[in-house]
Amino acid sequence: MPDIVLKEATADDADRYTELEKKVGGRTYFALTKKEEFLDELSKRKIFLFKRGEETVGHLSLEIHKNGEEVNFCGFAVDPEYQGRGYGREGLRLVLETVKDAPRIALVTHPDNSKSINMYQSFGFEIVERRENYWGDGEPRVVLVKEKK
């Protein structure tokens, strides 16, 4: 299991966040590559950085709704240098631990992102819907949900 810790992002993390986003953005992931976009995201959502020592290896942002009854994961990225080595899985596990009392956790991803979908499903997420042109970018997305049983 990779040795990482979660750190809640602050405005001081803008440069590293946007650097990572530039590495992972593309057809299946809409990246926030400008400092202003990061600061806007930070004003609306909680952003967790996955830290390995001083290095930021990934991040996940989330929104909490209905007094904690529903959590939406909004952005999840792992630096390509660290992909396929368990860092995303460990980061997701740590974030899920912080919201473990939420009855419902939802997220949206591209249907071609099979590695991520498989990882989400291994944590109990289920695909509940597919929507065409979800973000208005001409690309479909799938909605996955994990509900507390």
pLDDT tens by residue, 32-86: 888 999 999 999 999 999 999 999 999 999 999 877 789 999 989 999 999 999 9
CB 123 within 8 A of CB 146: yes
Q: Residue 127's domain spans which residues?
A: 5-147
Q: What is the DSSP letter of 68?
A: G
Per the structure, how many domains does the chain have? Answer: 1
pTM as predicted: 0.90
Looking at this protein, which amino acid is placed at residue 27? Answer: R
Task: Please count the residues of the chain.
Answer: 149
**Is the predicted pLDDT of residue 31 greater than 80, yes or no?**
no
List the CATH number of the domain containing 52.
3.40.630.30
Q: What is the pLDDT of residue 26?
A: 73
DSSP state of 137: S
Q: Which spans in the chain are helix H?
A: 14-24, 35-44, 87-98, 114-122
- What's the first-to-final CA gap in the chain, in angstroms? 27
